[in-house]
Structure 1
């Protein structure tokens, strides 16, 4: 995984530290996921996610355009951001290759690799200890090749 120390060329004064980024991603609820169709047309959609400190886990509907596009071309970019006024803007952009993890669609078959992200997801979005499986979603893991972050609130300190 690329760290924020040397991968971000512009805006070093406003980039988040690794700890700030991890806290930020743990607290945010919605990301925007960009994929590419076979003809090169982009597609962007909102999705729930969890961050485990190394990978972004996306729980996607398997009959979605996103899923079909990633099956053909697994490259994706994800943005998590917030803020209204200029001095409040902050966010993280992650890019890399999607990995499909577990059965698709997910029905709850044992998959030790999914124990941690499913626990995080269940607590974050449902206030539960175990994720209910609906037979429509499955897991994508993005272990980013590149990460860029910004926190314009840091400009007030300059």
Structure 2
């Protein structure tokens, strides 16, 4: 991940906390840019491999069409109900299309690991079931910003 968080360092997640959080959460919100420049936000399931966020999107969706035209993307994963429980991550960068679209299961070594992760996390299966309607997007973020408000109540180490 490229950029270092400048603000809110006191509540930012460590790399280990970030990996644990993204491995546990299932749903993210994906922001894309419409043809008229307006933002478009939609929810999706995802898998995190420690470096990239893998999104399995319907290829006939507005999101897919927008990313084909303009691959800039922002994704938010968050959790918590009460103020002191809020935590999350914003990842931004460029979406990359991986494998055939729609995905039918053609051999694609780059998808072996993410498909196993996704199938286990989302469906509780050992291998991916392809429906011929979805395909893969990969976001290797240029910037990551995280927050964990649970840290506000904890004593902070001195710099």
TM-score (norm 2): 0.96
Give the ranges of 4+ consecutive aligned residues of structure 1 lying more than 2 Å apart after TM superposition: none
Partner of 2:10: 13
Measured in 2, the distance between the counterparts of 1:152 and 1:114 equals 34
Q: What CA deviation, in whole Å up to 9, does each residue of 1:100-128 have, x standing for no partner? A: 00000000000000000000000001111
Unaligned stretches of 5+ residues in structure 2: none
1:120 aligns with 2:117: yes
- Pairing partner for 1:76 from 55, 73, 76: 73
C-alpha deviation, 1:38, in angstroms: 1.6
Matched with 1:2 is 2
CA–CA distance in structure 1, aligned partners of residues 52 and 2 of structure 2: 11
Secondary structure, counterpart of 1:115 in structure 2: helix
Offset at 1:95?
Answer: 0.2
Shift of 1:72: 0.2
Match of 1:88 in 2: 85
Cα RMSD (Å) = 0.7
- Could you report, residue by residue, the CA deviation over 1:20-50 in whole angstroms, capped at 9, with x for unpaired residues? 0000000001000000012101100000000
CA distance in 1, matches of 2:51, 2:109: 17
Q: How many residues align?
A: 155
Structure 1: any 5+ residue segments left out of the alignment? Answer: none
